[in-house]
Amino acid sequence: MKIATLAIATTAMLAASIAHADISATVTGISDYDFRGVSQTADDPALQGSIDFEGETGLYAGIWASNVDFDDCCGEDYEVDYYVGWTAGDAVEWDFGAIYYAYPGANDLNYPEIYGGATYYGGEDTWDLGAKLWASWDWFGYDAYGYYSEINGNYALPWWEIGVTAHVGYTFGDGPDEFTFDSGLREYVDWWLGINRSFGPLDLELRYVDTDLGEGLEVSGDAGTNDDRFIFSVSTTFPW
Which residue, among 38, 106, 100, 48, has the nearest Cα to 77 in the 3D structure?
106
What does the pLDDT read at residue 180?
A: 53
What does the pLDDT read at residue 183?
A: 46
What does the pLDDT read at residue 174?
A: 85
* CB-based contacts of 24, cutoff 8 Å, min separation 6: 51, 52, 54, 237, 238, 239
Domain residue limits at 209: 2-238
What does the pLDDT read at residue 11?
A: 55
**CATH number of the domain where residue 69 is located:** 2.40.160.40
* CB-based contacts of 229, cutoff 8 Å, min separation 6: 32, 43, 208, 209, 210
Report residue 121: phi and psi, to 5°.
Answer: -100, 110
What does the pLDDT read at residue 46?
A: 98
What does the pLDDT read at residue 21?
A: 75
Report residue 2: phi and psi, to 5°.
Answer: -65, -40
d(CA 130, CA 117): 7
pLDDT tens for the chain, 240 residues long, are 555 555 555 555 555 555 567 999 999 999 999 999 999 998 999 999 999 999 989 999 999 999 999 876 777 889 999 999 999 998 999 999 999 999 998 888 899 999 999 999 988 778 999 999 999 999 888 888 999 999 999 999 988 899 999 999 999 988 776 665 444 567 899 999 999 999 999 999 999 999 998 765 656 567 778 889 999 999 999 998
Total domain count for the chain? Answer: 1
